[in-house]
Structure 1
């Protein structure tokens, strides 16, 4: 049983991952966070109260249980301290391959060969993270989705040299923490979820460029038509309910007209423009839409309520 967990990188994702392990695991566990930013880990521990409140509001935890389990969280000042005694380490540092590789080299040096090293990367090959390590067989990807404490699925991606027990134990730990681990057969860039999301976003940009619809209309269509149905069933079950003959006919009519744009070395012009102007979305106050603080707060609350409702609705799903 894994009873000591270390989280490297205590930002939005890492902090949420650590808080969920502390709050959702039924067995006694100690979760320690470390961040390269001074005070970063302490901030994440303080923010864990918000995670607890969200889980209580979603009906996942009783208030008294949440309060008691928050005491499982701790901080550390060094990598050596945060990993001391840990048998499972989560890397959640910024999405930069050289940075992650440096962290993995450090972890490989200071932890025992049986300590699982899991990365929250959203698209890097775990083989690249395991490269040149003394014990590469204990490296695996465990890719969460934000907000980590409300999105149930985690993509588990081994590399060809990952020991099967590493994948199995990672999936078991995630299940014990209330997650739904999806173990992939092999690595592909972006894994599964981000590939599906990027295909949808590519077509959304294409429709805006062609004057078919505005971003507001496209968001409305996604939220109130296929979005809820897709969340309830998944794409292949939706197709079975619609009829594969219907999908076959649609494919010959629609697929030739879909966007076939490939980014290669350059992102789409719209995204390049936003990056150049510094309008990156919620984190900068503007993106496709303006994001004043009160709007961020309102939409975040709406999102969390919807995800909490979805979590309650998914209980008992197999």
Structure 2
């Protein structure tokens, strides 16, 4: 049966619904994954961020059409709205932490240096000592989550921040040249990207986004270039291209329908836009991905 859209869940297999702004959930990887024969099919969450700590087993992590193998000491990050899935080796275990987008955004707003730990999907290998330290943090969070002591939510959020700090430090160990953007430029660029996430399907131009952010187009350009090394238009186009790839991969929608869903009223222009950036027409891209998946 052809799916008409990317599956959306609350937690995997559960009907989507509104999430409390302080929502935080922790469970073992095995308790949900074994119910699905260790295969979590590609899906997305409207307003949830995942962090997985793998301490036994391994498998393949799929994110936005890319696949990444991971071993038994790995930390996996799945940002908001990312289309993702897993093929776990039977018996894989560890923890999966799930937090609401509102909670993650508040933490990032109050601690902007943490944004690099929240921005993209990745699977980080961990040395044994780091894996043990992360396991202690996740286990402490699990105890708070399942307990009913006074100040439970505050303690759990403090432990979450500690995990995010450790995640950021591990990323910087692996990529020491990662730019640390913590000032006004980073905040403005983050607000722009949040607006793009809300409105990329519309016909809004970069100047329209700048007005909504109460800054000039040039100020917005400076902030984006300094923080992301990309212009506002490049970020907007990248988001539209990502959505087009997602929809081609995971749905049977026509090119015309996909063009409209990604903010392109003219399917012909959309096809040119897509081909210029991928080297393939939308139809050829879909066919190539289908052949790869079957092979």
Task: Give the structure-1-normalised TM-score.
Answer: 0.28
TM-score w.r.t. structure 2 length? Answer: 0.30
Higher relative contact order (CA 8 A, sep 6+): 2
| Structure with greater proportional strand content | 2
